[in-house]
Amino acid sequence: MTDLDTEPTSTHTPEERALTGREARDRLPRARLAEWAPAADRPDPVELLLADEGDRIPELLPLRHERMAASPFAFYRGSAIIFAADAASRPDTGLRAQLCGDAHLANFGGYATPERELVFDLNDFDETCPGPFEWDLSRLAASFEVGGRANGLDQASRALAVQAVATGYCSRMAELGRMGNLELVAARMLVSDAGAEVKATASRDAMRRFRDNVRKTRSRNRMKALAKLTEVVDGELRFLSDPPILVRIHELFEDDLAELVRQHVGAALDGYRESLSPDRRALMDRYRLVDVARKVVGVGSVGTRCWVALFVGRDQLDPLFLQVKEAGPSVLEAYAGASRYENHGQRVVEGQRLQQSATDILLGWTRVADREGRSHDYYVRQLWDQKGSAALDQLDADSMRAYAQICGQTLARSHARSGDPIAISAYLGGGKSTGRALVEFSRAYADQNEADHARFAAHLGSDGTLQG
C-alpha cells in the first residue's frame, strides 16, 4: 500500500486503471461536480476561522484580519479551512493524490531549480495532505471566478478562465497517463514554456508584463535580499527592521527573552540540520548564524510563527537567508485522514517533494519546544531564491485565461506524481463536461465566498479582533 492508501498502479494494467476511473463516475457523476449548496449543518465560517487561529500570535491577528477583510479574493486566500470543510461535505470520487490543500491561483509561480532553471509550479504546501484530487481542482477553478470578479472581468470572461483550468488539467492529465513512470516524474514546466502559452493567447501588453515579471523573478535572489533586508551595524550584518512585516527579535522582546527566542530558533536550526542529507549538512557548516527576525508572510499564514535567519559564509557578500516557518496540522486532515508524519514540518516537506518538479536544496524540517515546554513544528527553506508570481491584479481576460490553462496543467502534473493519471483522466474525459460543471460550481461558490466574507467583516471589531 502507498502513503495514499490506494493500491500501487504497478499491480494493475492500464486498462484496469482506466476502468477504475470510469467506475468512479458511479460514485460521483461528473455533472455533480457542478453542485454547491451549503449543508444544513454547515459549520459557521467565523467559528472555523477562530478555531484555526487558536495557536497563532495574538498581536498579529488584527493584521491577518485586515488583509482578509480587504476583498472577497483576499478572504478566499486566507480561508482554506472553510473550503476544506465544504469540499468534505460533498461526495467524492475516491481517486486520491497528494493534494496542495490550498490550490488557488496565487499559490503558483516561478522559482529557480538547483540547476538555476526557472520553472513554473505550485509554491505553497502548508496544507498538503492526501485526498480526493477534485478538492484541489475545484478550489483552483473557483479561485479564478473569485479572482476574475476582483479584476472586474465580466461573467463570460470568468467562465472562459474556469473552463481553461479544466482544459489544461484534463489535457495534461491525459498526456501524463500515456507517459512512462520515469518520464512522468521528470516532467516540468519551464517558465519559458509558460511564456509560450501566454504569447499564444494574450495581448502584446500582457506579454510585456510577463517578460518584466520574469526579469524581476530572476533578480529576486539572496543578493537582492542582502541589499533590501539588511544593514551593517558595528561591522556585522543585521536585519533591517520594517515593522510589523520584518522585526529583529531584539526589537520585539526584552534582552533576556530575546536571547531565549534566539536560542529557540537556533535549536530549531540545529534540529533542521539533521533532516538534511550529508552533502547539504556540509554546505550548512560553511555558514555562521548572525541574526534572527520575525517575518510576516502571505495572507493565510499571518499569525503563525515565522522566523528568518541570516547567515554569513565566506564573507558578507556570501549571505544565506533561511525562512523557518511553523507548520500545524493541515486543514484537510479532519476530513481526509491524519498525516502519516508525526512532525508537520516533515508533512509539508515530503508533500512538497511529492508534488513539485524540483525542490529547494535546503528544504528540511525540525521540531523544538518553547520555554513553556510546548512543541512547535517547522519547515525550513531558502528565502528569495529567485521566487516570483504573476501580477494577479493586472490580468486581463486573455491573460487570465492563459494563466488558468497553465495552472490547470501544473496541478495535473502535481497530482499525477502521486495519484493515478490514467484513472483520473478516464474519470474526467476530454474536459468539456468537467469544464461546464466547474464553471457552474465556481459561480455558486464565489457567491458563497462573498457571503462568508461579508459575515467575517461584520464580526470584526474596531481593533481588528474577530468576534464569534
Residue 212 has pLDDT above 90, yes or no: no
Task: Kindly list the distances between the CA atom of residue 239 and the CA atoms of 19, 57, 243, 384, in Å, as whole numbers in the listed order.
Answer: 57, 21, 12, 15
pLDDT value for 309 = 95
Beta strands, E only, 100-215: 108-112, 118-122, 129-132, 189-190
Residue 463 has pLDDT above 60, yes or no: yes
Higher pLDDT pick, 195 / 326: 326
Residue 267 has pLDDT above 90, yes or no: no
Residue 2 has pLDDT above 50, yes or no: no
Per the prediction, the chain carries an average pLDDT of 93
408 exposure class (CB count in 10 Å sphere: 0-12, 13-18, 19+): buried
Contact 198, 127 (CB under 8 A): no
> Looking at 120-134, 260-274, 321-335, which range is the least confident one?
260-274
pLDDT tier, 279 (very low <50, low <70, confident <90, very high otherwise) = very high
Higher pLDDT pick, 419 / 205: 419
Residue 283 has pLDDT above 70, yes or no: yes
pLDDT tier, 6 (very low <50, low <70, confident <90, very high otherwise) = low
What integer is the mean pLDDT of 333-343? 95
Residue 82 has pLDDT above 50, yes or no: yes
Residue 32 has pLDDT above 50, yes or no: yes
What integer is the mean pLDDT of 405-432? 97
pLDDT value for 7 = 67
Contact 47, 456 (CB under 8 A): no
> Looking at 156-170, 230-244, 379-393, 435-449, which range is the least confident one?
379-393
The verdict on whether omega for the bond into residue 244 sits within 30 degrees of 0, i.e. cis, is yes
Which has the closest alpha carbon to 378: 304, 311, 319, 289?
304
Task: Kindly list the distances between the CA atom of residue 135 and the CA atoms of 71, 100, 263, 426, in Å, as whole numbers in the listed order.
Answer: 23, 9, 40, 17
Distance CA 294, CA 245 (A): 8
pLDDT value for 370 = 80
pLDDT value for 1 = 35
Which region holds residue 49: left if phi is over 0, alpha if psi is between -120 and 50, else beta? Answer: alpha
Burial 3-14 (b: 16+ CB within 10 A, else e): ebebeebeebee
Instruction: List, for residues 372-381, the tens digit of each pLDDT value.
Output: 888 999 999 9
Percent of the chain with pLDDT over 70: 99
pLDDT value for 5 = 64
Question: Radius of gyration over alpha carbons of the chain, in Å?
Answer: 22
pTM listed for this prediction: 0.95
Identify the bridge partners of residue 246 per DSSP, sorted by sequence position.
242, 295
What integer is the mean pLDDT of 169-186? 97
Instruction: List, for residues 443-458, the tens digit of each pLDDT value.
Output: 999 999 999 999 999 9
Distance CA 367, CA 272 (A): 8
Contact 103, 411 (CB under 8 A): yes
Query: Which one of 2-6, 290-294, 300-304, 391-395 scores highest in mean pLDDT?
Result: 290-294
pLDDT value for 236 = 93
Distance CA 445, CA 455 (A): 15
pLDDT value for 263 = 85
Helix (H) or strand (E) holding 309: strand 306-312
Which region holds residue 298: left if phi is over 0, alpha if psi is between -120 and 50, else beta? Answer: left
Higher pLDDT pick, 203 / 235: 235
Q: Which own/partner contact pairs does 259-262 have at CB distance under 8 Å and 24+ positions apart?
A: 260/371, 261/292, 262/292
Higher pLDDT pick, 114 / 148: 148
pLDDT value for 121 = 95
